Amino acid sequence: MNKHLRSILVALCFCVPLVANAAIEAHEFDSPEQEELFRELTRELRCPKCQNNNISDSNAGLAQDLREKTYQMVKSGSDKQQVLDYMVARYGNFVRYDPPLTPAVLTLWLAPIGIIFIGGFTVWRLARRKKSAQPELDSQEQQRLAELLKQTEQKK
Amino acid sequence: MNKRAMYFLLPLIAFLFMAVFLYRGLYSDATELESVLIGKPVPQFTLQDIYQQDKQHDAAIFKGQPLLLNVWATWCPTCRAEHTFLNSLAAQGVKIVGLNYKDDRSKAIKWLEQLGNPYQVNLYDGKGLLALDLGVYGAPETYFIDSQGVIRYRHVGDVNARNWQETLGPIFSGLE
């Protein structure tokens, strides 16, 4: 292969575009803490329109609006809880990727453990019953068993 | 009930419960979200009339009679699809308030002139302020508001003859 061509190919390999995950918007913050809070919130808030995207990843109009609102609130000094409360009051807990522990959420977490527990208990019960259900031979039956064994031995 | 019947019935009941639950999940629309504003009054707002910039409306327009609040925009194809049906609803005497959402005012006025105006009041929400407070996540959305100005139901997607007859109409006539 031509030496030049090879070096061009190698150069091309480095041109793989680096796909940025977050939408690019210029936001100015008063402090690095505010910026960090903004990043954290836009990662934790879920876009109601384009599900399975957080509002940082999504470029839907609604996600842009919510980003902008988050920015304004953070910039004007709101803390994390205030922003989350604001969003939840409008879009419900759906809007959070880290929802609070409601009874429904608790059920979702505990139901599988409960089902495994019930299954385990049932297996244990069945196993115990089988063991205890093995009939003991009374003395008469034992005698008969011994006779039968003797007979088969004599036949050999 | 004897023990044997219990051992038979319990798993059967559990199975039926799961089957019904999962079957319902099969046909539920995951993109349809329950509004958190059900049972709450329409949020406070001050918005311009779409035709006259100096005319302002506030939440008082929702008091007095049950009505629909329809969120629409010219950039939304489904809104166009439902517009004809909204016209016929308005002709039947259903009161509808229109909320023009993140749209261009002149385009919106042109739309109303061309396709007809089913709305009693036309709110212009160019920045989506009221829409954000309502938790609107896509147009069209239709809110069912009772005479006290309390939101009773939200429908996401177009209102058409079929869903009006099946579900939405009865909900609307049930509003007080």
**Can you tell me whether residue A12 is helix, strand or coil?**
helix
Cα separation, A84 vs A69, whole angstroms: 11
Q: Please report the pLDDT score of residue A11 as a whole number.
A: 62
Q: Nearest-CA distance from A138 to chain B in Å?
A: 28
Q: Nearest-CA distance from B34 to chain A in Å?
A: 8
Question: Tell me, what DSSP letter sits at residue B141?
Answer: E
Confidence of residue A1 (pLDDT cuts 50, 70, 90): low
> Which of B31, B34, B128 is closest, CB to CB, to A65?
B128
Query: DSSP characters for B78-113?
Result: HHHHHHHHHHHHHHTT--EEEEEES--HHHHHHHHH
Question: Tell me, what DSSP letter sits at residue A54?
Answer: B
Whether A61 and chain B come into contact, CB under 8 Å, resolves to yes
Q: Are B140 and B163 in contact (CB under 8 A)?
A: no
Chain A residues near residue B102 by CB distance under 8 angstroms: 61
Whether A89 and chain B come into contact, CB under 8 Å, resolves to yes
Most distant CA pair in chain A, distance: 103
Chain B residues near residue A92 by CB distance under 8 angstroms: 33-36, 135
Strand pairing report for B96-101 and B67-72: parallel
- B135-163 mean pLDDT: 92
B21, B44, B129, B132: best to mutate for the A interface, most A CBs within 10 A: B132
Whether A65 and chain B come into contact, CB under 8 Å, resolves to yes
pLDDT, tens digit, 9 for 90 and up, residues B72-126: 999 999 999 999 999 999 999 999 999 999 999 999 999 999 999 999 999 999 8
Amino acid at B86: L
Confidence of residue A156 (pLDDT cuts 50, 70, 90): low
Q: Nearest-CA distance from A20 to chain B in Å?
A: 25
| Model confidence, pTM | 0.73
Cα separation, B19 vs B34, whole angstroms: 23
Most distant CA pair in chain B, distance: 78
A45, A51, A91: best to mutate for the B interface, most B CBs within 10 A: A91
The residue in chain A having the minimum alpha-carbon distance to the alpha carbon of residue B36 is A92
Give every CB contact of residue A71 below 8 A, 6+ residues apart in sequence: A27, A38
B137, B141, B151, B154: best to mutate for the A interface, most A CBs within 10 A: B137
Cα separation, A110 vs B68, whole angstroms: 41
**What order of strands is seen across the sheet that includes strand B46-49?**
B56-58, B46-49, B121-125, B96-101, B67-72, B141-145, B151-156
Q: Nearest-CA distance from B82 to chain A in Å?
A: 20
pLDDT, tens digit, 9 for 90 and up, residues A16-32: 544 445 556 778 888 89
Neighbours of A57 (CB within 10 A): 18
Q: How far is CA B114 from CA A57, B72, B83, B84, B88, in A?
A: 38, 15, 11, 11, 15
What spatial distance separates the first Cα and last Cα of chain B, rounded to whole Å? 48
Residue in this structure with the two tokens 């575009």, named with its chain if needed: A17
Amino acid at B164: W
**Can you tell me whether residue A40 is helix, strand or coil?**
helix
Chain B residues near residue A45 by CB distance under 8 angstroms: none
Strands (E) across B108-150 are located at 121-125, 141-145
Half-sphere exposure of A31 (CA within 13 A, CB side): 6
pLDDT, tens digit, 9 for 90 and up, residues A40-99: 999 999 988 887 889 988 888 889 889 999 999 999 988 999 999 999 999 988 899 988
Chain B residues near residue A49 by CB distance under 8 angstroms: 137-138
Query: What does the domain layout of chain A look like in residue ranges?
Result: 28-95, 101-133
> Which of B30, B34, B135 is closest, CB to CB, to A90?
B135
Residue in this structure with the two tokens 């996540």, named with its chain if needed: B137
Give every CB contact of residue B149 below 8 A, 6+ residues apart in sequence: B41, B42, B59, B62, B63
Model ipTM value? 0.76
Q: Nearest-CA distance from A86 to chain B in Å?
A: 9
Whether A88 and chain B come into contact, CB under 8 Å, resolves to yes
The residue in chain A having the minimum alpha-carbon distance to the alpha carbon of residue B103 is A61
CATH 1.10.8.640 matches A28-95: yes
Q: Nearest-CA distance from A89 to chain B in Å?
A: 7
Neighbours of B34 (CB within 10 A): 11
How many inter-chain contacts (A to B, CB under 8 Å) are there? 31
